[in-house]
């Protein structure tokens, strides 16, 4: 009995660790936080179903889709965007089939670090202006909140997030986003910038508003390549949790099954109106600290997430968070995403003196930051989607040089 209670409490703890990042994505993209909680819970349960509940992984909202969701909703509307997100889940099935057929080496050959690194950097850098504008209280080119107050809220949120990330210890170090939101929200409440009336009027129990996807092939083609980065992130996440638990999950239950489980979660999230899901590094860190490797813990975390999706007042509380509070956190968050892309290049020792590598990275960064758009009639490709395709095509068509005369390293190699 005590052991079962301990497992339940551990599940609640996992959700607490993942919570800040989980609800941040819908708050930034205009989606319903309740649908993010529901999508994460259902997605995790589906993942466990596909993998035989063998892997202690929790699926939460993916940061990789923030910029694409913002662009897609402005271009095709929310129903069309949801269809695009639903379609993006099928990219995971493509990778799952490739891994099952040719092994993980085929994925590495198709998507080496010189391709993945700059694409991840664009995921963060392409929305840098959004973060800055929110921190200054601006939206749609208009000043919607007082500039001085906005900067103060953003600075407090950012400072709290940085302090916890750098100086906190143990489990507290895993919740910097949550700490930043709480600090900024408390200050905003003290400044009278929080509308508590909406929270008071919200019902305790509320069925989340489901968004019915609308078939839109342009949105689908836009979202498909976006899924490449989180699919690769998934592979790294599975290997990371395997390193913590001492088990090789790429063999049992198999990487093809974990990819399929994650892809199924992404599809379901798109069908109900939530952000796509992905493996959470925060949860892996929590597993490492607690040494609780029981996948049942993730089942309880998923069940708690589903239950919270129907808690009306809680979701009203989330939606009452002032924009600059989120903006301050985004300043760090999006820069962190870009830094991970840079770290991918550095750790793989990608030689940027090699012409092919320099071309790939340069074209991707310029096209992504400059918002280069490729249009074919009513269909357009821009941002992470276009950058992913550019990087893959350039990597496939540019010739690889022979061995260098001095260091014996293959110039432009797939590293």
The pLDDT, as a whole number, for residue 362 is 95
Helix H, strand E, coil C: the string for the chain is CHHHHHHHHHHHHHHHHHHHHHHHHHHHHCCCHHHHHHHHHHHHHHHHHHHCCCCCCCEEECHHHHHHHHHHHHHHHHHHHHHHHHHHHHHHHHHHHHHHHHCHHHHHHHCCHHHHHHHHHHHHHCCHHHHHHHHCCEECCEECCCHHHHHHHHHHHHHHHHHHHHHCCHHHHHCHHHHHHHHHHHHHHHCCCCCHHHHHHCCCECCCCCCCCCCCHHHHHHHHHHHHHHHHHHHHHHHHHHHHHCCCCHHHHHHHHHHHHHHHHHHHHHHHCCCCEEECHHHHHHHHHHCCCCCHHHHHHHHHHHHHCCEHHHHHHHHCCCHHHHHHHHHHHHHHHHHHHHHHHHHCCCCCCCHHHHHHHHHHHHHHHCCCEEEECCEEEECHHHHHHHHHHHHHHCCCCCECCCCCCECCCCC
pLDDT surpassing 80 at residue 327 = yes
pLDDT for residue 153 is more than 60? yes
pLDDT at 413 (0 to 100): 43
| Residue 401 banded pLDDT, cuts 50, 70, 90 | low
Q: In this predicted model, what pLDDT tens digit does every residue of 336-393 receive, in sequence order?
A: 778 888 888 998 899 999 999 999 999 999 998 888 888 777 666 777 778 888 998 9
pLDDT band at 402 (very low <50, low <70, confident <90, very high): low
Please give the mean pLDDT across all residues of the chain. 85
**Among 160-164, 225-229, 232-236, 318-322, which range has the highest average pLDDT?**
160-164
Q: In which band, very low, low, confident or very high, does the pLDDT at 152 lie, cut at 50, 70 and 90?
A: very high
Out of 87-101, 169-183, 345-359, pick the least confident: 169-183
pLDDT for res 7: 83
Q: What is the pLDDT of residue 411?
A: 39
Q: Is the pLDDT of residue 51 over 90?
A: yes
Per-residue pLDDT, 156: 95
Using the predicted structure, report yes or no on whether residue 407 has a pLDDT greater than 50: no
Pairwise pLDDT comparison (49 vs 207), residue with the higher score: 49
pLDDT value of position 406? 35
93 has pLDDT over 90: yes
Residue 2 pLDDT: 67
pLDDT at position 404 over 70: no
pTM of the shown model: 0.76
User: Under a CB-based contact definition with an 8 Å cutoff, are residues 118 and 128 in contact?
Assistant: no
Contact yes or no for 268/262 (Cβ under 8 A):
no
């Amino acid at each position: 009995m005590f052991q079962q209670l301990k497992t339940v409490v551990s599940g609640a703890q996992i959700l607490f660790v993942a919570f800040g990042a989980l609800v941040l994505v819908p708050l930034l993209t205009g989606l319903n936080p309740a649908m993010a909680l529901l999508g994460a819970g259902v997605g995790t349960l589906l993942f466990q179903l596909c993998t035989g509940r063998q892997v202690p992984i929790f699926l939460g909202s993916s940061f990789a889709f923030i910029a694409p969701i913002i662009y897609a909703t402005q271009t095709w509307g929310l129903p069309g965007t949801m269809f695009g997100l639903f379609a993006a889940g099928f990219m995971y099935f493509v990778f799952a089939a490739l891994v099952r057929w040719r092994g993980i080496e085929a994925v590495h050959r198709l998507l080496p670090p010189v391709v993945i690194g700059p694409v991840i950097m664009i995921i963060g850098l392409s929305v840098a202006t959004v973060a800055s504008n929110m921190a200054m209280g601006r939206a749609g080119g208009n000043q919607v909140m007082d500039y001085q107050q906005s900067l103060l809220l953003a600075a407090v949120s950012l400072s709290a997030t940085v302090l916890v990330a750098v100086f906190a210890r143990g489990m507290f170090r895993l919740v910097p986003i949550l700490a930043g939101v709480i600090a900024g929200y408390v200050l905003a409440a003290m400044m009278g910038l929080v509308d508590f009336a909406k929270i008071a009027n919200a019902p305790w129990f509320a069925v989340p508003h489901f968004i019915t996807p609308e078939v839109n092939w342009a949105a689908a083609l836009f979202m498909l390549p976006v899924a490449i980065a989180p699919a690769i992130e998934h592979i790294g996440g599975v290997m990371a949790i395997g390193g913590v638990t001492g088990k090789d999950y790429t063999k049992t239950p198999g990487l093809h099954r974990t990819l399929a489980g994650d892809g199924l979660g992404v599809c379901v999230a798109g069908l109900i109106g939530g952000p796509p899901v992905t493996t959470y590094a925060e949860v892996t860190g929590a597993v490492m600290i607690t040494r609780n490797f029981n996948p049942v813990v993730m089942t309880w975390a998923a069940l708690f997430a589903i239950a919270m999706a129907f808690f009306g007042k809680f979701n009203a509380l989330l939606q009452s968070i002032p924009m600059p509070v989120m903006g301050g956190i985004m300043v760090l968050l999006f820069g962190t995403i870009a830094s991970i892309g840079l770290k991918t290049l550095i750790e793989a020792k990608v030689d940027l003196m090699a012409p092919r590598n320099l071309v790939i990275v340069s074209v991707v960064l310029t096209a992504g930051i400059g918002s280069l758009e490729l249009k074919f009639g009513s269909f357009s490709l821009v941002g992470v989607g276009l950058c992913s395709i550019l990087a893959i095509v350039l990597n496939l068509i540019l010739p690889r040089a022979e061995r260098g005369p001095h260091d014996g390293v293959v110039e432009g190699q797939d590293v």
